[in-house]
Amino acid sequence: MGGIIDGCPSGLEVDLDFIQAELDRRKPGQSHIVSQRKEKDKVEFLAGIFEGKSTGTPIGFIIRNENQKPQDYDHLMDVFRPSHADYTYAAKYGNRDWQGGGRSSARETICRVVAGAIAKLILKEFGIKIYGYTSQVGDIQLKKHYSKLDLTKTNGSIVRCPDELIAEMMIRRIEMVRKEGDTIGGVVSCLITGTPVGLGEPVFDKLHADLGKAMLSINAVKGFEYGSGFEGISMTGSEHNDLFFVKQGEVHTHTNHSGGIQGGISNGEDIYFRVAFKSVATIMKTQSSINSKSEQVEIKGKGRHDPCVLPRAVPVVEAMAALVLVDHLLRNQTTKLEYISTC
């Protein structure tokens, strides 16, 4: 895996330890409830950083895949796994790399985490922070409002849930499906604090539209909602409207059903959203399927897969959120004539 990150401003101190730590939050083998593959996931930067700082050049990087076991995939050469991308890739492209899933493998998200880590370093300069956490696994749901949670505890939890009791229940649920050779889905919630007023474009590139696309582009995501979301539709306008007030010269709202975004543009309040992940398609049970000759076959998952993608999905959600925010932060620099400066 590897990629090119374009658009990073020059002069950023690129904290390599932080980037590696972000990768470690995503890597397999970190606990007993995720895939037991043993990848080092070490990133090698090839361009764009000089003497510890970004140069303004596209940042190129590679992460070598060191623990690949091609034999884990041999039985898939000719088979279309159910609810995987095998069939659609074969139909779309004619030929496909069936070893490890190629681009359709969730391993692809490792590149998003690298880019997202650099984006977070940029956002940090402006006081913007992103907190993802697992808020649901199967039916086990963390219902507390984010303001009642201690989000510094998320990372200490192997399931990335900041509430210890709920985390314990989630872990048991995952252990259970794993024992059955099955898998389960869940929800990642995400909070963004410190966003300045004014990020987002008014029509097609609304801030929440770009956040939504970014999340929906992550493997296994089936839904996105922000602010009051699907639940809020039963509220009347008089209940839902967020009334303004001014405190110490700053404009705020009493409630925040808007989720920090009004008319597609950030209003300075907390941004929060929820992302639905389906269960992993690769299961250790026998399933019927077809092969490329349209023959009915039986297949059974091999290899070292995740029984639940949620724990490892949290840093990916955060990374994509960070990239969207940096894009809009940069884009906003050309909005007002008075912002524009010459060297």
Per-residue binding string, a copy of itself, 218-257, x by CB under 8 A, is -x--xxxxxxxxx-xxxxxxxxxxxxxxx--x-x-x---x
Determine, following the binding rule CB under 8 A, whether residue 282 of this chain makes contact with a copy of itself: yes
Nearer to a copy of itself, 114 or 214 (CB): 214
Which one-letter DSSP state was computed for residue 148? Answer: G
For residue 140, the minimal CB distance to a copy of itself (Å) is 9
Neighbours of 206 (CB within 10 A): 18
Binders of a copy of itself among residues 308 to 337 (CB under 8 A) are 329-337
CA separation for the pair 207, 261 (Å, rounded): 7
Piece of the chain touching a copy of itself by CB under 8 A; list 18-26, 29-37, 142-150, 211-219:
211-219
Q: Single out the residue of 78, 264, 270, 304 in contact with a copy of itself (rule: CB under 8 A).
A: 264
CB 277 within 8 A of CB 188: yes
Return the residue of 192, 277, 311, 319 that touches a copy of itself, per CB under 8 A.
277
Stretch that binds a copy of itself, among 30-38, 92-100, 152-160, 162-170 (CB under 8 A): 92-100
Whole-number CA gyration radius for the chain: 21
Give 58-118 as a 3 state SS string.
CEEEEECCCCCCHHHCHHHCCEECCCCCHHHHHHHHCCCCCCCCHHHCHHHHHHHHHHHHH
Site for a copy of itself in 52-71 (CB under 8 A): 53-57, 60, 62
303 binds a copy of itself (CB under 8 A): no
Question: What element of type H or E holds 291?
Answer: strand 286-291
Q: Does 263 bind a copy of itself (CB under 8 A)?
A: yes
Would you give the binding string for a copy of itself spanning residues 16-45, x where CB under 8 A is met?
------------------------------
Binding track, positions 133-162, relative to a copy of itself; x by CB under 8 A? ---x-xx-----------------------
> Please, which residue, 49 or 167, has the CB nearer to a copy of itself?
49
Amino acid identity of 137?
Answer: V
Of the candidates 196, 224, 225, the residue with the CA atom closest to the CA atom of residue 331: 196
Q: Does 298 bind a copy of itself (CB under 8 A)?
A: no
- For residues 203 and 282, give the distance between their C-alpha atoms in angstroms, rounded to a whole number: 39
Interacting residues with a copy of itself between 175 and 204 (CB under 8 A): 177, 180, 182-187, 196-198, 200, 202-204
Distance CA 248, CA 246 (A): 7
Angle at 136 between CA 130 and CA 138, to 5 degrees: 150
